[in-house]
Each structure stands twice: as C-alpha cells, then as structure tokens.
Structure 1
Amino acid sequence: MSDTTPSPATSPATSKDRLRLWLRVLKATRAVESEIRENLRRDFATTLPRFDVMAALTQHGDGLKMSELSGVLKVSNGNVTGIVDRLVEDGHAAREKVPGDRRASRVILTAKGRAEFAHQAAAHEAWIDQIFAHVGPLDAVNIAETLDGVAKQLEDRD
C-alpha cells in the first residue's frame, strides 16, 4: 500500500472530510496572512517578510549570520539580503564582523529596531487575538496541538 492510499480504517467519507479540512486551513491561512500584511502596511509602512526578519533577530539576541537567518526563515539568502539592507538603512539593524571569519557578518537588531519590533509585535498579537476571537480557549489549544501533530508527522518523515 502506498503512502497516498487511505489505510483500511479510513473511509472515503473521512478522506473527503480531511481534504475539505486542508482546503479550509489553507483558505483561513491565506485570509489571515492577507489581513496581517495589510495591517503591517497600513499601520507600520512595513511588510510581513520584514516583520519576520525582525522577529527572528529578536529571538536570537546575539544576532545571526545571513545563512543562519535564511535557515531560520526557510528562505534563500537573496530574499533576506534586501530586507536586511533596508533594516540597516533605517537604523533598525546593524551588521557586525564575525571574529575569525573575515567574510561573514552577523546581523543584530539595534535598540531602535528592538523598540520598533516590540511595538509591531504587540499590534500583531492584538490583530491575531481579534481575528481568532470566536475561537474559544480550549478549542485554540486543541486545534494548535492537532496542527502541531500534523507538522511533526511530516517533519519526522524527513
């Protein structure tokens, strides 16, 4: 039996329900992402990729090499370079030399960048809370755990 063939315990109706679930998850994800992108543009004149870079740098207070940043974000170095360049131009980030590696630099958020990101992150959390306001606390935990299980299953196959 191949990985794409439903197990004997999976009925065709269950398979269709799971397909509909995936389509709804995808639709909801796209709608939420679109709302967040618009809010970031409107309220902060910024983009979601820029927000994501600042979030990654916030989580790694000692900074990240460009290759590490790309790995954390799961994008190419080229995608990150332009964003980092603009963050540096705006005074939100700085590049520091990596001792022992003349070719490498580490990107860190400046105090100005940390303050700006804290402001954006607070707004982001409020937007997400508002978007998911109709989801009860227990449902939020259960849905998150279920989606984590799906992601873990796929990661474990790699």
Structure 2
Amino acid sequence: MSELSKRRLKAWIRLLGVTRAAENHLRAYLRVHHKTTLPRFDVMAALYRRREGVTMSELSRMLLVSNGNATAVVDRLEGEGFVRRLPSETDRRTIHVALTPAGLRQFEGLAADHEAEVDTLFARLTERDLDTLTDILRRAKGGPA
C-alpha cells in the first residue's frame, strides 16, 4: 500500500467518526429536547421536501431504508396526525403519504432547532473551512478517478 492510500484510509475513518459522532449527538438531542427520533425526523424531512406526497416505495428509496422501516415510522406519524395516507387515483395498490398541516408545523419547528444544533456542532468551522470541505466532498462524491 502506498502512503497516499494509507492517508486516504485514515481520512475515511476520520470522516466516519465525525459523521457518527454528529449523528449520535443529534439522535440524543431530538430524543431529549423533542421526544422524537432521527428516523421520524428524516421521514418528515423527506415529506417536507416533496409536499405533494410520495409513494411508500419512493420514500424508502429517498431514505435508503426498507419499506418495512418506512412503514413503521409512517404508521406512528399518522397515528399522531402528522402524516396522511392517500390512495392513488390510478392504482389502488399504491398509497401516497404526505405531511398534514399539523405535520408541516411540527416539522418546521423541529427543522429550525435541528439546524441550530448542527450549527452549534460545527461552530468551529469558518466560512472558508466550509467552502473547502464542500469542494472536497463534491470531488470525493464523484467516485474513483
């Protein structure tokens, strides 16, 4: 292995560590301050981005989770009045899910607090740091050279 290869591996491990630490912090923050979970937040965020609603399969793909996991979270959110299921007009086997007005309000409050917490987590990064990091991640996402 080359020295550069070893450095790339260390960078990958460090990136994973930062990601996991931030995710764990946000999980705890949402649980303690909002009595909710990160998967619920993620489902609501996906539905917020697609206000017209999505099928359960689309939602699962957006979140990179199984249909069963997405369904369990949607069931709970629906029970609390934050999500509604709408049958497809063209295929009765297809169900669309969307946030209710109460779900929109709930998510907007969660999203503002989530953003503030992420801002606090990364407060030591300057604008220049963020520009550099964004550029690096954009290049890394491109896949192998």
TM range (shorter): over 0.9
After TM superposition, the score normalised by the length of structure 1 is 0.87
Q: Is residue 33 of structure 1 aligned with residue 33 of structure 2? A: no
Q: What is the DSSP-based 3-state SS (H/G/I as helix, E as strand, rest coil) of the residue aligned with 1:102?
A: coil
Q: Is residue 140 of structure 1 aligned with residue 135 of structure 2? A: no
Residue of structure 1 aligned with 2:108, choices 92, 101, 118 = 118
Residue of structure 1 in register with 2:58 after alignment: 68
What is the percentage of aligned positions where both structures have the same residue?
A: 43
The amino acid that maps onto 1:79 is N
Q: Distance in 2 between matches of 1:152 and 1:18?
A: 15
Return the offset for 1:19: 1.4
Residue of structure 2 aligned with 1:150, choices 125, 132, 140 = 140
Residue of structure 2 aligned with 1:84, choices 54, 74, 79 = 74
Residue of structure 2 in register with 1:3 after alignment: none
Q: Distance in 1 between matches of 2:21 and 2:67?
A: 27
For residues 14-56 of structure 1, the C-alpha deviation after alignment (integer angstroms, 9 at most, x for no partner) is 2222111111111111100000000000111111111000000
Residue of structure 2 in register with 1:51 after alignment: 41
Q: Distance in 2 between matches of 1:61 and 1:152?
A: 29
Return the offset for 1:75: 1.1
The amino acid that maps onto 1:143 is L
Q: Distance in 2 between matches of 1:91 and 1:43?
A: 20
Q: What is the DSSP-based 3-state SS (H/G/I as helix, E as strand, rest coil) of the residue aligned with 1:81?
A: helix
The amino acid that maps onto 1:31 is A
Task: Give the unaligned 5+ runs of structure 2.
Answer: none
Q: Kindly name which structure, 1 or 2, has the bigger radius of gyration based on alpha carbons.
A: 1
Supply the RMSD in Å over aligned alpha carbons.
1.4
Task: Give the unaligned 5+ runs of structure 1.
Answer: 1-5, 7-11
The amino acid that maps onto 2:64 is K
Q: Distance in 2 between matches of 1:45 and 1:151?
A: 34
Q: Distance in 2 between matches of 1:148 and 1:79?
A: 29
Runs of 4+ in 1 over 4 A off after TM superposition: none
